Structure formats: C-alpha cells, structure tokens
Structure 1
Amino acid sequence: MKTLTPTLIVYSGTVTPRYPFLISIPHGGTDIPQELAGRLALSRHEIRYYSDPVTRALYSFGSSVQAFIETPVSRMAVDLNRPPLPIPPRDPDGIIKVRTIDGKTVYREGLFPDMNLIHRLMMAWYFPYHQHIDELIDHRGVKIAFDCHSMLPVGSGEQKDAGRRRPLICLGNNGDRKGRARKSSIATCPESWINALADEFRSEFSLGSEVAINNPFSGGFISNAHYWRKGVPWLQIEINRSLYEPERARSAARSSDCDGSVTALRERIWRVLATFWDQHDGGT
C-alpha cells in the first residue's frame, strides 16, 4: 500500500470563462491512508465499488469554475460527507465506517481504529476539507456550490430505498420532492433554483420523472453544514452509474472501462450547469 500524503486537490479557476461555482467531489478518491494498512477487510475491488471513483472525471470542471475541491482518500477510510457526531463507531455509516451499505464488515476483527487513530484521520482529512470549502467560499466569489456524487442504480440492503430502482439523476436541497423547505427545516437553495436545474437536466437528457428532486437523496452533511455556515446556496447532484457503466462492469466501477461515455456525459452535465446559470442566473 502506497504512502498517502494528507493533501487535498483544491483548484481556483484562472481561465475564462469562470462560472461562480464551487465544485466539491468528496467521494471520488480510492486511496487508503498508510495508518490503515492491513486493517480493512475489503478488497481493492470492493473499496473502488463503495467509493465514487468516476466522479473525479465526471465533474472535472476545475478550469471553468471559481473553486474546485476533491480528495484522493476513499470514503471507506474517511467519509467527508458525514457529520462529526456521533463519535465512531456508533454510526455504522458515519465518518469511519463499520459496515458497507449492503452490510459487509469494513474492518478486520479487532482492528477497528481506536479514538487516537480516528482523531488523526479526522485532523488529516476531514477537517481540512471543510476548512478549505469555507476558505474558497470566502475568497473566490462563489455564488452557488455543487456537491457532486454518483449513485448505484438500485438501493442497497442497508439503505432506506433498498431494492428500489433509482432515478437517473437526483438533485438535493434538503427539501421535499418539489424542492420546498420541509417543516421545521430549511432548504439549501431556493425552490426555483433546484427546479430550474432539474428542468435543464430533463431538457438535455430528454427525461421526465427520471430526474428527481430530493429522492432518494436530499443532500448530505457538506451541503447542509456549509449552507448554514456561509449562506451560499448548495445543491447536491447524484448521477446514476447506469449512465456510464456497462452492466458487465457496473460492480467494478473502473473508470478505464468507460472513459468515452464519461467524457461525453461530463460535457452534457457541464452544459446543463452552464445553461442553468446563463439562462436563469441562479433562478432569479
């Protein structure tokens, strides 16, 4: 296992046109920090499958946006899109995983990280990611942020939508299925914004209900926490893996198997985001 230096890939746009977007890709990494060498019960194949490796290519808009951040570390080592509490391992799908989304044990027996190691991992990976997001919002003229993900075509065993077919595209703003704020909660962007973006996806991909809002995902910790902290609107984007992974390779999630379709899909996603902003100026 290679030594993994605790660094993030943070890009601030220097090429015009630069859109006032922040692109966050928290689950694209597949590397495991050296401190966890020999501890995981998962194979390299499984680590890739439970990560979002293709998202680093799918959303690689760094040269066209004001701010961009991603990480090489796998979510199976440190999940950056989870709240810092409850303290691991109380949450099986928290920052430090106990089980995968379909119930597989992540760590070998007796090798789950102790609190000292959890603290080191969070100081090296978790807190810097969130600090950099705040700094990018503060200094780069960001007007909207996108937290970018992929999703499996069908809900897995320990998820709320287990066994159910998922839409091709899901947009989340912590609201209801029409993008409205839920009772006793707050949406991370206006209803008009998320609906305008959904309409652009439907137009670009010739889809209807296959573009869903807040179903099955309404947004994770990154979107919610940084909207609360900074007030800049956030949208979570989930792209169904079936749009770029052939059926025979879906479980492997190897970017080398689908580079051509990922390139074409990336161009279409970017066209959607750019058109959304150009035509709607954030839905205003």
Structure 2
Amino acid sequence: MKLPILISVPHGGLSVPDFLIDRCLLSPEEILLDSDTWARELYDLKDLVEAYVDMDISRIVIDLNRNTNDLPPNNPDGIVKTIAVDGSPVWKNPEGLNSREIEFLIDNYYDPYHRRLEELSKDENIILGVDCHSMLDIGPTDSMNRPLFCISNRGNALGEMNINLQGEKITAPSRVLMKLKSLIEDAFSDIRVTDREFVAINSPFYGGYITKHQGSLGHIPWIQIEVNKCIYLPNNPSIKPTDDDLVVLRDFRNRLYKALCELSDYIRDGS
C-alpha cells in the first residue's frame, strides 16, 4: 500500500528552456550546485507514495518556491533569478529576464505545478504534503554549520505559531512536526555529529512559499524538509550520480521512507 503522502520536489531540475540557453552564463556544473543537487533521486518515492510532483526546469529559471510578486531588482533571488546562490550573475543581461519571458515561465511551469499540488491535496487518500529540499552545509550569509535536517511548518522552534510571522497559522500541527523530528533522529541514528544540531525545527528555514501557500488552503497539512548536502553529496559531484552515489541516495531514501511510514500511522491514529 502506498503512503498517503504527496511529495513535492520543486528544486531538483537542471534544464534551461531552449530560448534561454544562449543567454545563461552558468555552466551545467554551476546549475547543478545551485539546485537542490540530486533531489529528484534523493526523494524518489514516486512508486511508494500516493502522489509525487517534481520539476525538470532549474530553479535559476523559475523558482516554484517563491511568490509571483517576488521579483528582481527588489529580490535578485526571487521567482526568477539575476544572481546565483554564490552571487554570480545568471544572465548575460544583468537585468535578467523581461516581463514577457517571466509571464511565459509562470504560465507554463509555475502555475501548472501549483495547480497540480492543489488538485492532488484534495485527494481523500492523501493526509500530508511534504515539500522536499536540500541545503548547503554553510549558507551564503551563515557563519555556522547548518543542522543535518531542518523541518518546517511556518512556526517557531517548537512547531507552534511564530509571533514574528504576523499571526500566520502553522501549516501542520506541532505534534506532527515533533514526531517527525524523533523519527528522523531514529532513522539516521548512526550519523554522529558534534558541531551542529541534528534536526532543527523552523531554523534556518520556516518553510517557503509552497508550504505557506498550499498549507493555507487547508486541504491537508504541509511540512517542508531540508536535508544538509553534507549527508549525501561528494566533494565533486557529477551531473548524474555515479553507481556509488546511487547507493548512498538509495540508503537515504529507504531511511526517510521508514520515517514517513511511521509518521503516516501516527497521523492516522490521531495520537
């Protein structure tokens, strides 16, 4: 029986549409590292869950985890990018894409993705949405190592309402988030760390636009999960994972699946 979960993987794609390729300054390797590297393999649970949605277009082209109003120049890391995560320019034109191109990308990639998530979240067989990402070990503006995992519901460190987010409702019950935390800690208990938190709640990420928007619709609870790339990514990753890499990715996927199995039972039991 498939898990009653909807998996979203918005940042694993590497493709650039044909009409933009000649204007993109980033190499395939740079696009790979700017993405949630190998996330489509890392979270490949499509045969094990009720619903799975991902995107093959790179986040440097269209970021599905941003609001449509989040645009450059106010935000060069908005729904379309003018700079990569390391600060390097994305396009030959420093101003980035024009309004017609942005509208095309929203109409053809962004809106269909969100409509699909909303449609699937109404399926009576689905009880939870999980938006899946990976994160850099040390962020562009961070000075400390990030946790191995970050799970988010737009709340505070206990998964409860965050007063700093202007009364915004959490997207999943705090008890569900705390349960997932303990299940991840059990599933990955052999990983030894001393210089960072193991599973952080709503830090360094509260949960992005997908979690916020889809969670606000109220069809199902939503959780964002971020896994630190240091867990699975070699120092010099290739565009496609090697056989050895796939072994690591498969092991991660199996452990996560086990945690999500137990979480599904927990939610169904209403414990």
CA distance in structure 2 between the partners assigned to 1:33 and 1:89 by the alignment: 22
Partner of 2:158: 178
State whether structure 2 residue 93 is matched by structure 1 residue 109. yes
1:262 maps to 2:246: no
The one-letter amino acid paired with 1:83 is: N
Aligned to 1:18: 2
Task: Indicate how the Cα distance of structure 1 residues 118 and 280 shifts in structure 2: closer, same or farther if over 3 A, else same.
Answer: closer
Task: State the alpha-carbon separation in 2 of the partners of residues 170 and 279 from structure 1.
Answer: 20
Secondary structure at the aligned position of 1:258 is classed as: helix
Instruction: Check conservation: 1:41, 1:106, Cα contact below 8 A.
Output: yes
Counterparts of 1:70 and 1:205 in 2: how far apart (Å)? 25
1:166 to 125, 139, 146: 146
TM superposition shift of 1:88: 3.7
Q: In the TM superposition, what is the alpha-carbon distance from 1:133 to its structure 2 partner?
A: 0.7
Are the equivalent residues in 1 in contact too, given 2:2–2:49 (CA < 8 A)? yes
Which residues of 2 match residues 59-208 of structure 1 at below 5 A?
A: 59-109=43-93, 112-139=96-123, 141-157=125-141, 162-183=142-163, 184-206=167-189
Question: Under a length normalisation based on structure 1, what TM-score does the superposition of the two structures give?
Answer: 0.87
The alignment partner of 1:128 has SS state of helix
CA RMSD between the two structures: 1.9
Q: Deviations over 1:210-253 (max 9, x none)?
A: 1111111110000110111234100001111111112x326x67
- 1:118 Cα deviation (Å)? 0.8
Structure 2's unaligned 5+ residue stretches are: none
**Partner SS for 2:44:** coil
CA apart distance, 1:165? 0.5
Q: CA deviation at 1:28?
A: 0.7
Counterparts of residues 178-257 of structure 1 (less than 5 Å): 178-183=158-163, 184-206=167-189, 209-246=197-234, 248-249=235-236, 254-256=240-242
Would you say the 8 A contact 1:67–1:140 is kept in 2? no
- 1:221 aligned partner, one-letter code: Y
Contact (CA 8 Å) 2:63, 2:79: kept in 1 or not? Answer: yes
Q: Which amino acid aligns with 2:149?
A: I
- Is 1:52 the counterpart of 2:52? The answer is no
Against the structure 1 CA distance between its residues 138 and 24, is the aligned structure 2 distance closer, same or farther, given a 3 Å change threshold? same
Number of matched residues? Answer: 262
Q: Which runs of 4+ in 1 moved over 6 A?
A: none
After TM superposition, give the deviation of residue 54 of structure 1 in Å: 1.1
Which ranges in structure 1 are unaligned for 5 or more consecutive residues?
1-16
> C-alpha separation between the residues in 2 aligned to 1:253 and 1:203?
31
How far apart in 1 are the matches of 2:83 and 2:269?
39
